[in-house]
Amino acid sequence: MSARVIAVSASPAHHFCKTPAIFITLVRGVGVAGDAHSGVTVRHRSRVARDATQPNLRQVHLMHRELFDELAPRGFNIGAGQLGENITTEALDLLALPTGARLHLGAAAVVQITGLRNPCYQLDKFRKGLMAAVLERAPDGTLVRKAGVMGIVIAGGEVRAGDAIEVELPALPHCRLEAV
């Protein structure tokens, strides 16, 4: 199966869940048009409180549908947009991408991956125990964050369910994703 978008979501207000949409419009250097987290500088409330002038490396949140499948047997029935993601993907190992990988979405949009989403307490407010379910330890003891990846918009355009995703890797050496 080829990598593809299975859902798109946005929210004009700072709500944990985002509302599924027919399409979203990505705006170069800003993020998802009409989404509370779009902007050149940080929009996540905790980051704004620390330093509102920081660049926004979290313009777009992408989540792999396969995480929903992994969580279901543990009692977490999650749907697209419910974990705050803008783009839900399928058949693409988002967590294995290197920093700087570019995702070509649909006809024109390009999102450059900046890092991993750092899960927060809001996951447990949404569903008790969910934060622990999206974190685990690798055999070497390092923390594995499974709550998706964040990116910035390099080229704008509409993105909708069914759009193909093409991956463009950065030049070597690749850098492993870190929380942003």
- pLDDT tens digit string along 143-152? 999 999 999 9
Read off the pTM: 0.95
More confidently predicted of 54 and 45: 54
pLDDT at position 52 is: 86
For residue 120, what pLDDT band results from cuts at 50, 70 and 90? confident
For 7-32, give the DSSP string. EEEE-SS--SS-EEESEEEEETTTEE
Q: What pLDDT score does 43 carry? A: 85
Classify domain 4-168 by CATH architecture.
Beta Barrel (2.40)
Characterize the bridge pairing of strands 102-105 and 19-21.
Answer: unpaired
Whether 41 has a pLDDT exceeding 80, the answer reads: yes
Please answer whether residues 1 and 162 qualify as being in contact, where contact means their C-beta atoms are separated by less than 8 angstroms.
no
Give me the pLDDT at residue 45, please. 73
**Per-residue pLDDT tens digits for 82-99:** 999 999 999 999 999 999
Tokens of 108: 């024109």
Position 58 scores a pLDDT of 96
pLDDT above 90 for 44: no
Domain boundaries along the sequence of the chain = 4-168
pLDDT at position 136 over 90: yes
Q: Edge-to-edge strands of the sheet including 31-32?
A: 31-32, 23-27, 157-160
In this prediction, residue 1 carries a pLDDT of: 80
Highest mean pLDDT among 37-46, 49-58, 164-173: 164-173
pLDDT at 66: 98
Mean pLDDT of 41-48: 81
